[in-house]
């Protein structure tokens, strides 16, 4: 069970309904893709379907086709009239990973739409693609520091960890996020610093402070981050 799952399990709201391991959306490459009964163009059209189950199947199918489908999926992402289909498009682009580098500008634009409730999906996709970091990292840093949606802030911290962004601005922003009001953001920031490792030396004072908190999840994550940064 991941730290994020443990956080969810400790939530009093979740406790009322039970705790289940959340679906892991980042390990797309481990899925078996056997949807060969339609063309890539037909699967892109299904991304626009009103049924989320159909859209999810389309996401799975499109991963098979690589960068050839990226332009068409970007068009779905950019269509503001499509609602949930835009999230499915973002997930498809994230599933393609570095092959979807062409989508980075569109994903950054989408994540900055303050009125799009699913913009955390675009943030997650950027962390999966891990390309054009000169554009991606500043956008993620800004979102983590200033977005009013805690899901976006948490996904931005997670994405920064995936990119191993060890620049001064990113590390400073992650260190500041250790005091975010939301427990998930705090934990994701600590985990991101752990992934960055020795390049996050500047965050050591903030992590040491975090180890003295009463927040068990953050304390544990901060301790692991310090080990990774110090090399022991």
pLDDT of residue 137 exceeding 70: yes
pLDDT in tens, 139-154: 999 999 999 999 999 9
pLDDT of residue 2 exceeding 50: no
Instruction: Pick the more confident residue, 7 or 111.
Output: 111
The answer to whether position 149 is within a domain reads yes
The confidence score (pLDDT) of residue 27 equals 45
**Domain encompassing residue 216:** 132-232
Instruction: Pick the more confident residue, 176 or 10.
Output: 176
pLDDT band at 188 (very low <50, low <70, confident <90, very high): very high
pLDDT of residue 28 exceeding 60: no
pLDDT in tens, 98-132: 999 999 999 999 999 999 999 999 999 999 999 99
Number of folded domains that form the chain: 1
pLDDT in tens, 34-83: 566 789 999 999 999 999 999 999 999 999 998 999 999 999 999 999 98
The answer to whether position 141 is within a domain reads yes
CATH of the domain at 170: 1.25.10.10
The confidence score (pLDDT) of residue 161 equals 96
pLDDT in tens, 189-225: 999 999 999 999 999 999 999 999 998 999 999 999 9
The answer to whether position 211 is within a domain reads yes
pLDDT of residue 8 exceeding 70: no
The confidence score (pLDDT) of residue 37 equals 76
CA 107 to chain centre: 12
The answer to whether position 93 is within a domain reads no
pLDDT of residue 5 exceeding 80: no
The answer to whether position 167 is within a domain reads yes
Nearest to 154 by CA among 189, 198, 194: 189
The answer to whether position 68 is within a domain reads no
pLDDT band at 25 (very low <50, low <70, confident <90, very high): very low
The answer to whether position 87 is within a domain reads no
């Amino acid at each position: 069970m991941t730290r994020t799952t443990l956080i969810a399990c400790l939530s009093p709201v979740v406790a009322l309904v039970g705790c289940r391991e959340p679906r892991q959306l980042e390990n797309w490459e481990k899925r078996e893709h056997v949807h060969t009964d339609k063309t890539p163009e037909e699967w892109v059209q299904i991304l626009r379907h009103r049924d989320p189950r159909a859209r999810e199947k389309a996401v799975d199918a499109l991963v098979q086709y690589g960068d050839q489908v990226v332009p068409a999926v970007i068009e779905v992402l950019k269509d503001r009239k499509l609602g949930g289909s835009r999230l499915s498009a973002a997930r498809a682009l994230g599933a393609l990973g570095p092959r979807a580098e062409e989508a980075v500008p569109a994903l950054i634009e989408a994540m900055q739409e303050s009125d799009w409730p699913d913009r955390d999906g675009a943030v997650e996709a950027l962390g999966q693609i891990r390309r054009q970091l000169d554009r991606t990292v500043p956008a993620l840093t800004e979102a983590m520091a200033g977005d009013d949606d805690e899901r976006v802030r948490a996904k931005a911290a997670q994405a920064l960890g995936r990119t191993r962004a060890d620049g001064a601005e990113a590390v400073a922003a992650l260190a500041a996020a250790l005091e975010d009001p939301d427990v998930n953001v705090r934990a994701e920031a600590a985990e991101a610093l752990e992934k960055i490792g020795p390049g996050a030396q500047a965050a050591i004072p903030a992590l040491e402070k975090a180890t003295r908190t009463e927040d068990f999840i953050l304390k544990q994550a901060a301790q692991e981050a310090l080990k990774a940064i110090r090399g022991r």
